[in-house]
Amino acid sequence: MSIKRYTAIALLLAATWFGCGAWAADPLGRFPIDPAEVSVSGISSGAFMANQLHIAHSAGIIGAGMIAGGLYGCAVDSISEDGVLALASLAVGPCMSVPTLLRPVDFYARLTADLAARGWIDPPGDLARSRVYLFTGQADKVVNSKTIELGTSLYRTLGVPAAQVKFRDRDLPGAGAGHSWVTKNFGNACDANAKPFINDCHYDQAEELLQTIYGQLQPPAARPAGRIVVFDQTEFAPGGAAAANGLLDTGSLYVPKACEPGAAQRCRLHVVLHGCLQSAEVLRDEFYTKIGVNEWADTNRILVLYPQAHATTVAELSSQDSSSLFNTNPNGCWNWWGYAGDKQFLTKQGVQVRAIWSMVQRVTGQGN
């Protein structure tokens, strides 16, 4: 057999191995992390999920960054004994494009208090020590700025002191930022509202977000010297059914050299959540290598967890019935309107909140 033929067979085997999804990623590992230094951020649907994680687990998360999204319970219509009724039409309507139909801040504050009284989320009093960064671009055509302004008011209403809340929206160049994670030198034009939803506005959003949460940081690395680890997410989904619950089979982790197991000093953990159409299914590694967070993480002992969502179709749902169409997630967004039949999506019992929190506990060595 010729060398060419051997090579062809090897390539075919490799293509089959990786292409059919048979390749199993490694389990998520434990790292030397201080569990009191966990924070979260996200853009768009990731911002809504970061907000949900923060408010549900306020006792365990010290700060949050919400970019172009994030108003707790925005898509909720009512609350019942087994969870909340949320509507996709509330998400795409009042929450994203018709802000005049948003409810007063008291509604969302009461909802938060009600969920806490049922023990479904941590007491909102724990939020008082949080540091919070919120951002909306003036050229954002996807999620209206009023929603983020109301999200900011909600944090204040829930007891976060004004000095600990940073709301940014007006001072970027030109028309301002479109719907995007904003960077210093990568991505679309600043006012674009298009894939990959990473825009170059000569503004280092990662810097301001992380410094709002962690205080003054060391200057970033010119090039990150750590490693990206792709890990198995299926173990964090109920019954391993990741796809049915809007979770991708694998997530990613950025590990700076200073945070490798055996490091002398413990690191911090920052969870970053992509937006719709930004998961590794769509952008491959672009989101988790180009938004500028790893550069800051490298020099400041921050391990960065990048969980990944999945675009769920009707066929992938755990059961198909007349309600199935309401339960799909065609754009691979994080769950902030109760898809996949999850009535607890914004509480500690929500499938995705629980999955991400279990990842946090694993990485920090707190559980499982």
Partner 1 sequence: MVDTVQSANGGFGFLTDLIGIQMRNMEAIRQAQQKMLEGMSVLAKRQTEIIEGTLRRSVGEPPAATSSDIRSVVGHQIESLKTTILENQTNSNILSEMAARSSAEVANILQSRMMAALDEFKTALDHAIP
Instruction: Kindly list the residues in this chain that would bind partner 1 in the complex (CB under 8 A).
Output: 77-78, 85, 87-90, 92-94, 97-98, 100-101, 321-323, 326
Token pair for 189: 């034009």
Burial status of residue 270 (CB atoms within 10 A of its CB: 0-12, 13-18, 19 or more): buried
Q: Between residues 97 and 211, which has the closer beta carbon with respect to partner 1? A: 97
The distance of closest approach from Cβ of residue 281 to partner 1 in the complex, given in angstroms and rounded to an integer, is 27
Contact, 183 vs 199, CB < 8 A?
yes
Q: Between residues 41 and 144, which has the closer beta carbon with respect to partner 1? A: 144
Distant-in-sequence, close-in-space partners of 21: CB < 8 Å, separation ≥ 6: 249
Please name the helix (run of DSSP H) or strand (run of DSSP E) that holds residue 112, with its range, or none: helix 105-117
Cα-to-chain-centroid distance, residue 146? 21
Burial status of residue 331 (CB atoms within 10 A of its CB: 0-12, 13-18, 19 or more): middle
Q: Between residues 2 and 78, which has the closer beta carbon with respect to partner 1? A: 78
The distance of closest approach from Cβ of residue 111 to partner 1 in the complex, given in angstroms and rounded to an integer, is 15
CA 307 to CA 323: how far, in whole Å?
A: 27
The distance of closest approach from Cβ of residue 337 to partner 1 in the complex, given in angstroms and rounded to an integer, is 10
Q: Between residues 84 and 190, which has the closer beta carbon with respect to partner 1? A: 84
Q: Between residues 78 and 216, which has the closer beta carbon with respect to partner 1? A: 78
Question: Which sign, positive or negative, has the C-alpha torsion 68, 72, 76, 82?
Answer: positive
Residue 192: DSSP 8-state: -
Choose among 38, 40, 53, 57: nearest CA to 123: 57
The distance of closest approach from Cβ of residue 94 to partner 1 in the complex, given in angstroms and rounded to an integer, is 7
Q: Which residues are catalytic?
A: 44, 140, 179
Q: Between residues 77 and 106, which has the closer beta carbon with respect to partner 1? A: 77
Question: Which sign, positive or negative, has the C-alpha torsion 204, 206, 207, 209?
Answer: positive
The distance of closest approach from Cβ of residue 8 to partner 1 in the complex, given in angstroms and rounded to an integer, is 51
Do you know the residue count of the chain? 368
Cα-to-chain-centroid distance, residue 217? 22
Whether omega for the bond prior to residue 27 falls within 30 degrees of 0, making it cis, is: no
The distance of closest approach from Cβ of residue 143 to partner 1 in the complex, given in angstroms and rounded to an integer, is 15
Token pair for 64: 């949050």
Question: Which sign, positive or negative, has the C-alpha torsion 44, 84, 232, 255?
Answer: positive
